[in-house]
A and B are shown apart, each in its own frame.
Chain A
Amino acid sequence: MTGGQLILNGLAAFLTLCIFSFLYKDNPFYKFAERLVAGVATGYWTMLLFHTNFVPVVWNRLAHDGRYEYIIPTLLGLMMWTRFSKKWSWVSRYSIAFYIGISSGISITLALYASLFRQLEATINQPLTFDAAGVSSFLIIVGVLSALVYFFFSAAHKGSMGVVSRIGIYVIMIGFGAGFGMTVMGRIALLVQRVIFLKGYVNSLTAFFGG
Chain B
Amino acid sequence: MRFLEQMMKIDRRWIYLAIGLAVIIPAIISFKVPVPVSKEVKKVHDFVENVGPNELLFLAMDYDPSSMAELNPMAEAILKHAFSKNCRVIIVTLAQFGPGMVEEITSRLAQEYNRQLGIDYAFLGYRPYPAITIMLMGTDFRVPFPQDYYGTPLDSLEIMQGVKNFNNVKGVIDLTAGNTADMWIVYGNGRYNFPLAIGITGVMAADYYQYLQSKQIFGIIPGVKGAAEYEQLIEKPGQGMAQVSYQLVAHSVIILFILISNVAYFATRKQKKAVGGAQ
Asked whether any CB of A lies within 8 Å of a CB of B in the complex, the reply is yes
Interface contact B202-A192, CB-CB below 8 Å: no
Interface contact B203-A188, CB-CB below 8 Å: no
Complex alpha-carbon distance, A191 and B251, angstroms: 13
Given contacts A23-B13, A133-B210, contact A192 B246 (CB under 8 A): yes
A53 at the interface (CB under 8 A from B): no
A67 at the interface (CB under 8 A from B): no
Choose among B13, B27, B210, B251 the residue that contacts A184 (Cβ–Cβ < 8 A): B251
Given contacts A24-B13, A185-B202, A185-B247, contact A191 B210 (CB under 8 A): no
Number of A-B contacts (CB under 8 A): 46
A91 at the interface (CB under 8 A from B): no
User: What interface size band does chain B fall in?
Assistant: 20 to 34
Interface contact B254-A184, CB-CB below 8 Å: yes
Q: Which residues of chain A come closer than 8 Å to B223, judged between CB atoms?
A: 185
Q: Which of B16-24, B85-93, B118-126, B170-178 contacts A (4 or more CB under 8 A)?
A: B16-24
What per-residue 1/0 map shows which CB atoms of A108-143 lie under 8 Å from chain B?
Answer: 000000000000000000100000110010000000
A83 at the interface (CB under 8 A from B): no
A-side interface residues, number (CB < 8 Å)? 17
- Nearest-neighbor residue (CB-CB) of B12 within chain A: A23
- Nearest-neighbor residue (CB-CB) of A199 within chain B: B27
Choose among A23, A184, A185, A195 the residue that contacts B23 (Cβ–Cβ < 8 A): A195
Complex alpha-carbon distance, A182 and B213, angstroms: 21
Chain B stretch 220-250: residues in CB contact (< 8 A) with chain A: 223-225, 243, 246-247, 250
Q: Would you give the shortest CB distance from B38 to chain A, in whole angstroms? A: 15
A186 at the interface (CB under 8 A from B): yes
B111 at the interface (CB under 8 A from A): no
Choose among B16, B23, B28, B225 the residue that contacts A192 (Cβ–Cβ < 8 A): B23
Known contacts A184-B250, A192-B243; can you find 9 more A-B pairs with CB under 8 A?
A132-B213, A182-B203, A184-B251, A185-B202, A185-B223, A188-B247, A191-B19, A192-B27, A195-B27
Give A contacts to B, CB under 8 Å: 23-24, 126, 132-133, 136, 182, 184-186, 188-189, 191-192, 195-196, 199
